[in-house]
Amino acid sequence: MKVTYKLDNQSEGRRLEEQSANKNYSLRDEFSSVGVQINAQERVLDAGCGTGLLSRFLIDHFCQEHFTIDAIDITENLLSFAKQESAKNDQYRHRITYMNKSITELCDQKKYHKIFSRFVFQHIPDRKLKTLALKKLWDSLLPGGKMYIIDCFGFFSHLDTPNTWLLEKIGHVENSIPIDMNVGPKLRGMLIDAGVPFECIQTRTLPFYFDTLEQREAEASLWKQRFQNANPLLVEALGELVAKRFVAEYIKEFLDPRTYIYAQKFILTISKP
Ligand SMILES: C[S@@+](CC[C@H](N)C(=O)[O-])C[C@H]1O[C@@H](n2cnc3c(N)ncnc32)[C@H](O)[C@@H]1O
């Protein structure tokens, strides 16, 4: 099955960069919560790199260590964005190699000390393909290496609101679109199915905070852009008129301070003996 990124659009690169500047998506917080360390001469894989923001962060953050990164993705628009960013800085340009490749096409001839895959598995369409992708990553990890998989739970659907029309439509959209925004807690089982011993997997969670109006407005801006990019999927699931009303009501409820939103990031650390 040919896998495509359902949010692909000319503006998606800018949205991902806007997202990463938001405290709820802080790479620094994610990495420090699990003690990510990169050493000199290591080989790193950024699997599903998007705009390359994680690769660039690693180079900036661990600037004392000379390591190299292979960054792969299936979306040409995002790879072009990533290459343009790399061209602005010699360190990025010399140390990050971008490739148009799916995780499911990795061959285990080239192995890595560290592997990262962030917000990618929610976009791999079914459990079988996700398990295959996890096996490819596990097979690409060197003995003594570590991989970090970050994805979310509750992100779209855990909105506590009295608006029953919206809740019913959220359920319908969730069941119709090939994106699983609750994939976080499922990754452990899929890793075990992929042949990873359970004692090699450690799970941590980090909450998303939507307490202040500022946090909600920042996230609502991202939702507007996600919905815009995913419009063909919404129209297919709901029809054009209902899709339009759905987006308007979702954003309105999201911004309502009485609405409670419960979402978490799952950060799995997988260590190869
Ligand atoms: C939400 S973006 C996240 C990008 C980046 N990791 C970040 O943290 O901003 C998801 C990315 O996964 C990529 N992707 C989806 N399925 C993939 C696959 N099978 N192999 C490689 N990349 C994939 C998409 O093209 C997209 O760039």
Tokens of 208: 């998303």
For ligand 1, the distance from its centroid to the CA atom of residue 158, given in whole angstroms, is 23
Q: At what angle do helices 76-87 and 53-61 cross, to 10 degrees?
A: 30
Atom of ligand 1 nearest to the CA of 150: 8
Whole-structure pTM over 0.85, yes or no?
Answer: yes
CA 63 distance to own-chain centroid: 24
Angle (CA) 227 230 234, round 5°: 85
pLDDT reported for residue 41: 94
Written as six digits, the tokens of 5 are: 């990124």
Q: For residue 41, is it within any domain?
A: yes
The boundaries of the domain holding residue 65 are: 12-153+179-209+263-271
Q: Which one-letter amino acid corresponds to residue 174?
A: E
Q: Which atom of ligand 1 is nearest to the CA of 116?
A: 6
Mutate to test the pocket of ligand 1, among 1, 5, 29, 45 (most ligand atoms within 8 A of CB): 5
Q: Is the CB of 103 under 6 A from ligand 1?
A: yes
The sign of the torsion formed by the CA atoms of 229, 233, 239, 244 equals negative
| E strand map for the chain | 43-47, 68-73, 96-100, 112-118, 141-153, 159-160, 201-207, 260-261, 264-271
Specify if 22 maps to a domain. yes
CATH label of the domain that carries residue 145: 3.40.50.150
In angstroms, the CA 12 to CA 59 distance is 23
CA 142 to chain centre: 23
Largest distance between two CA atoms of the chain? 55
- Residue 54's Cβ-count burial label (10 Å; 0-12, 13-18, 19+) is buried
Give pLDDT, residue 64.
82
Alpha-carbon torsion angle 269, 117, 208, 21, nearest 10:
130
Count Cβ atoms below 10 Å from residue 198 Cβ, excluding itself.
9
The first and second tokens of residue 14, run together, are: 């800018």
Q: Report yes or no: 124 and 130 within 8 Å, Cβ to Cβ.
A: yes
- 240 inside domain: no
* Residue 97 in domain: yes
One digit per residue, the tens of pLDDT, for the chain of length 273 reads 677 888 888 899 999 999 999 999 999 999 999 999 999 999 999 999 999 999 999 999 998 888 999 999 999 999 999 999 999 999 999 999 999 999 999 987 899 999 999 999 999 999 999 999 999 999 999 999 999 999 999 989 999 999 999 999 999 999 999 999 999 999 999 999 999 999 999 999 999 999 999 999 999 999 999 999 999 999 999 999 999 999 999 999 999 999 999 999 999 999 999
| Total structural domains within the chain | 1
Inside any domain, residue 249:
no
Q: Is the C-beta atom of 27 inside 6 A of ligand 1?
A: no
Q: Measured from the CB, is residue 173 less than 6 Å from ligand 1?
A: no
CA–centroid distance, 1 to ligand 1, in Å, is 16
pLDDT of residue 1: 60
* Closest to 203 (Cα-Cα) out of 18, 12, 33, 29: 33
In angstroms, the CA 16 to CA 26 distance is: 12
- Round to whole Å and give the CA distance between 219 and 251: 9
Q: How far is the CA of 120 from the centre of ligand 1 (A)?
A: 4
Is any atom of ligand 1 closer than 6 Å to the C-beta of 73?
Answer: yes
Nearest CA to ligand 1 atom 14: 48
Q: Distance between CA atoms of 82 and 20, rounded to whole angstroms?
A: 14
Residue 123 is predicted with a pLDDT of 95
Inside any domain, residue 164: no
Q: Cα separations (Å) of 4 from 8, 9, 73, 120, 159?
A: 8, 12, 10, 11, 28
Residue 256 belongs to a domain: no
Cβ atoms of 235 and 173 within 8 Å: the answer is: no
CB-ligand 1 contact for 222 (6 Å cutoff):
no
Q: Which of 20, 120, 147, 179 to mutate to test the pocket of ligand 1 (most atoms within 8 A of CB)?
A: 120
Classify residue 72: in a domain, yes or no. Answer: yes
